[in-house]
Amino acid sequence: MRASCPPAHPAPLPVPAAAALVDEDGGAAVDTAADTTSVGTDSGCEDHEHVSVLYAEVMDGLAPRSGGRYVDGTAGRGGHAEGILRRGAPDGRLLALDADPVAVAAVRDRLALFGERAVVVQSNFRLIDTVVRAQGWDGVDGVLLDLGLSSPQLAMPERGFSFAADGPLDMRFDPAIPTTAADLVNDLSEEDLARLFYEYGEEPRSRRIARAIVEARRRGRLSSTTELAHLSERALGYTRGRTHPATRVFQALRIAVNGELDVLGETLPRAVSLLRPGGRLAVIAFHSLEDRLVKRFLQQESTTCVCPSAQPVCTCAHQPTLRAVSRGAIKATEAEVLVNRRARSARLRVAERL
Ligand SMILES: C[S@@+](CC[C@H](N)C(=O)[O-])C[C@H]1O[C@@H](n2cnc3c(N)ncnc32)[C@H](O)[C@@H]1O
């Protein structure tokens, strides 16, 4: 690590007053340049480092305590996980999950010093309830989901998440899942590709990039990250200093390969049903699609009525399960973004089980 690197689990930043609130309707902008192409470059850190975003805000939000039971569904490199165990000393316990076996090995090493207080399991967080019950736990006091991917995953060309270096079009968090990004790029119809780039990449010129891919396929299978990046540049044009056109293309493919939005949509209610009264759910999203999903879910679970707005009298008898802890989304401070560029698109939302 270079001298300028921030610590992997930084000292608490002033919170939450200093943490900027995002406009309620603004959501998170599609801002994936940081998590797709610029691996640690701005912080000056070596690529293998992962600096946990919104660290202090997550600790404040989850408020881990001794005796509590917590799940980190996206353990990554274990920065938040370690924080939860430290704050939950002497006997708070943590179940740390990650779909990526490489992340799981790294987190096991990092959390070994906590002995039996930490259990690390390779699992998709969509199975959160099964894994929690397999521990013999009947409920938990906090769940954290820090979505997306880690800096080390971006920095490994062989994982295919980034077009900053040449690698295979893979993009799977869990290498055991059957479909890679190359499969989608080479096998989907032009219409399905266009829909994928439009829906998951919010790319307005989705048809143009889909057509270019299908034309390129006639010359042979597309297999590398840089090949797709150059193709995106040629199809969509690229102005230096602007977001690279492949950014949205890569985001869309990653979401599709890992079923990210479906998995998140299934997991949120499962996580809530595991929470004991007073337990907290904290979710960090990095782009508007997932942040919107989280925001709507939390709104729905916090309200007493989910009847259509045109209906004059409530007939739904909806029972809220959550209370919002943060008003709107919590955003990183300028100071944090300065040392960790990934943090600029992060949006944290926290809610408490009623
Ligand atoms: C942003 S990183 C988490 C970083 C972590 N909070 C830390 O402090 O080091 C996101 C991690 O979530 C994992 N992940 C993404 N989707 C997942 C899913 N559906 N199930 C389990 N892990 C997932 C990725 O493999 C990655 O390691």
Give distance in angstroms: CA of 219 to centre of ligand 1: 36
Over the range 112-138, which residues count as b (16 or more CB within 10 Å of their CB) and which as e?
Answer: eebeebbbbbbbbbbbbeebbeeeeee
The CATH superfamily label for domain 55-152+261-353 reads Vaccinia Virus protein VP39 (3.40.50.150)
pTM of the model: 0.88
**Residue 327 backbone class (left: φ over 0; alpha: ψ -120 to 50; beta: rest):** beta
| pLDDT at residue 216 tops 90 | yes
| pLDDT at residue 47 tops 70 | no
Band of the pLDDT at 168, cuts 50, 70, 90? very high
Mean pLDDT score, 14-29:
29
CATH number of 156-258: 1.10.150.170
pLDDT of residue 13: 31
Closest listed residue to residue 335, CA positions, set 51, 50, 145, 63: 51
DSSP symbol at 343: G
Residue 264 CA: nearest ligand 1 atom is 19
Which residue has better confidence, 42 or 284?
284
Q: Strands, DSSP E only, in 103-259? A: 118-122, 140-146
Is the CB of residue 152 below 6 angstroms from any atom belonging to ligand 1? no
pLDDT of residue 327: 87
Give distance in angstroms: CA of 278 to centre of ligand 1: 25
Mean pLDDT score, 196-204:
97
Give distance in angstroms: CA of 79 to centre of ligand 1: 11
Is the CB of residue 170 below 6 angstroms from any atom belonging to ligand 1? no
Mean pLDDT score, 249-277:
98
pLDDT of residue 305: 87
Q: Strands, DSSP E only, in 24-103? A: 69-72, 93-98
Residue 52: alpha-carbon gap to chain centroid:
12
pLDDT of residue 17: 29
Q: Which of 45, 74, 267 to mutate to test the pocket of ligand 1 (most atoms within 8 A of CB)?
A: 74
pLDDT of residue 26: 29
What mean pLDDT, rounded, does the chain reach?
Answer: 88
**Rounded Cα–Cα distance for residues 1 and 320 (Å):** 47
Whether 292 and 25 have beta carbons less than 8 Å apart is answered as: no
Which residue has better confidence, 9 or 222?
222
**Two structure tokens written together for 184:** 């989608």
**Two structure tokens written together for 194:** 């266009």
Give distance in angstroms: CA of 193 to centre of ligand 1: 26
Give the model confidence (pLDDT) of 230-252 as tens digits: 999 999 999 888 989 999 999 99
φ, ψ at 347 (rounded to 5°): -130, 120
Q: 125 Cβ partners below 8 Å, 6+ apart?
A: 73, 74, 97, 99, 145, 263, 267
Cis omega before residue 90 (within 30°)?
yes
Is the CB of residue 146 below 6 angstroms from any atom belonging to ligand 1? yes
Query: Which secondary structure element, helix H or strand E, spans residue 347, and what is its range?
Result: strand 347-353
**Rounded Cα–Cα distance for residues 221 and 6 (Å):** 41
Is the CB of residue 172 below 6 angstroms from any atom belonging to ligand 1? no
pLDDT of residue 45: 37
Mean pLDDT score, 4-16:
37
pLDDT of residue 253: 98
**Rounded Cα–Cα distance for residues 14 and 284 (Å):** 18
Residue 98 CA: nearest ligand 1 atom is 22
Residue 126 CA: nearest ligand 1 atom is 19
Domain ranges of the chain: 55-152+261-353, 156-258
Closest listed residue to residue 146, CA positions, set 54, 82, 84, 63: 54
**Two structure tokens written together for 236:** 């969509």
Give the model confidence (pLDDT) of 296-345 as tens digits: 999 999 998 888 888 988 898 889 999 999 889 999 999 999 999 999 99
Q: Which of 48, 173, 260, 268 to mutate to test the pocket of ligand 1 (most atoms within 8 A of CB)?
A: 173
Is the CB of residue 99 below 6 angstroms from any atom belonging to ligand 1? yes
At 66, the amino acid letter reads S
